[in-house]
Structure 1
């Protein structure tokens, strides 16, 4: 079983200013890591900066900071500042993100995502080590950039990856990989593309968890998320590669035809149950541990709403975190 146990932060419905008690509860419950995401809620770094100050034992990670929405120098500076605030505890996870996040919401061009991810990885490695970076990359050019405050402990860099090309890039040039939207049974398929990775290579996985015995509630939420994410071209291609092309085709066809209700109805329970962990806290914990047994070194839970979690009651939320903990 993994010696690491992560939770995605911030928790929905809880103001960031009130997270000090929740970070303490995570530490007390045996969590080792808090990981952030960056879509249209909090940015990836502020919740981790608070955790760095409030809980000096927790490890920190971004899953992910997009490679298109900050320039190379700004991303290096932001990562360096957090690495300085939490020496030896921060891991920088980067990835391409999506056309909606990059183009529709941040007015940037989502072009050549593989090449941009590769170039940002190749820039960040020397930049975070305090080296002068001056040269042309395929997707951008940097002239005479050197961090004024390079971190004493440069953070490991993990690359979000779905299909073979990006997985192999992670194995060859990154310190770890971040997996997303896959079942425990899919993990070996992804790991097969990571052969040759260096010793100590981290495999983090974001795992969606709905801790409720109400299967209908969990599946309803799961269907909405699956329809929203797996209709994105990159995730659709990922699940075709994983072997779900035939079973998800009715959803894709309905979605393409503009039939949103039909798309939801076309998602079988077995797909929801594969990709969304739900059940009692004990059942959820066992399912998360199955990812670790399959080769994930950092299982990171991302909680989905339940009546208990949506109550806003701090005592109730802390109990849920404790029940899911180690």
Structure 2
């Protein structure tokens, strides 16, 4: 790839709509492309994005990702109806689905494409899911990859559909005080069977896929050369607004 990827910020839905609205305003003011909000049990990414939409004007608003086993496509479409569709990216994932996963996700993509005007992206690890993301959705939402692996998977997606948009979540600690939390986050994901299997298949560990204070400029540049959009998932020393505003300030220096 010759283009430099867009740079966005990712946060956890657990921060809540009010705080995410304030963070989103800062993300937009700093010049980032978008804000992506993780959807977790008890934390509604769509409600958070509604608040973010009200505090911003042009910032792209993404969910990363909504599991369709917990919230079916029809429910996602209904709850997303009031969001600005031209700014919205509905990232979806299979969650705890265990049987017929490709068929389930193909159906969810089709339903969201029919019932919303938002872009639809698919959280994808394995090659079949990544291909489905490129051919049926607007592209894959990747995570936990080295720059080299990200470039290879982006080329694969663009080979399936040249217009596919390849986004990549990258866990990033830009403050030395946040490195311990980053290490814990990487170890947690490495313990999940599906991620452990994927790391084994790809031949690297979770700790090789992150950004730390000492290598931030070099690593972010490498990632931005690999995909179409890099989402810096903020790992901060604490959970105060100040921690996130400081992360945004530090990340803005990498734009």
Q: TM-score with structure 1 length normalisation?
A: 0.69
Aligned counterpart for 1:279 among listed residues 213, 231, 254: 213
Give the Å deviation of 1:90.
0.7
Contact kept, 8 Å, 1:68 with 1:110, in 2: the verdict is no
Distance 1:119 1:304, change over 3 A: same
Quote the residue 1:106 is aligned against: none
Quick check: 1:236 aligned with 2:161?
Answer: no
Secondary structure of 1:94's aligned partner: strand
Residues 67-86 of structure 1: pairs in structure 2 closer than 5 A? 67-82=68-83, 86=84
Q: Which runs of 5+ in 2 are unaligned?
A: none
Quote the residue 2:122 is aligned against: 159
Q: Which runs of 5+ in 1 are unaligned?
A: 100-108, 129-153, 249-270
Quote the residue 1:298 is aligned against: 229
Distance 1:18 1:166, change over 3 A: closer
Quote the residue 1:66 is aligned against: 67
Give the Å deviation of 1:15.
5.5
Quote the residue 2:248 is aligned against: 321
Quote the residue 1:94 is aligned against: 92
Quick check: 1:114 aligned with 2:114?
Answer: no
Quote the residue 1:34 is aligned against: 35
Quote the residue 1:145 is aligned against: none
Quote the residue 1:255 is aligned against: none
Distance 1:225 1:46, change over 3 A: same
Give the Å deviation of 1:70.
1.7
Which structure has the larger Rg over C-alpha atoms?
A: 1
Distance 1:165 1:34, change over 3 A: same
Aligned counterpart for 2:163 among listed residues 193, 200, 206: 200
Distance 1:19 1:126, change over 3 A: closer
Quote the residue 1:221 is aligned against: 181
Displaced runs of 4+ in structure 1, greater than 6 A? none
Contact kept, 8 Å, 1:208 with 1:304, in 2: the verdict is yes
Give the Å deviation of 1:42.
2.1
Aligned CA-pair RMSD: 2.5
Quote the residue 1:124 is aligned against: 112
Give the Å deviation of 1:26.
1.4
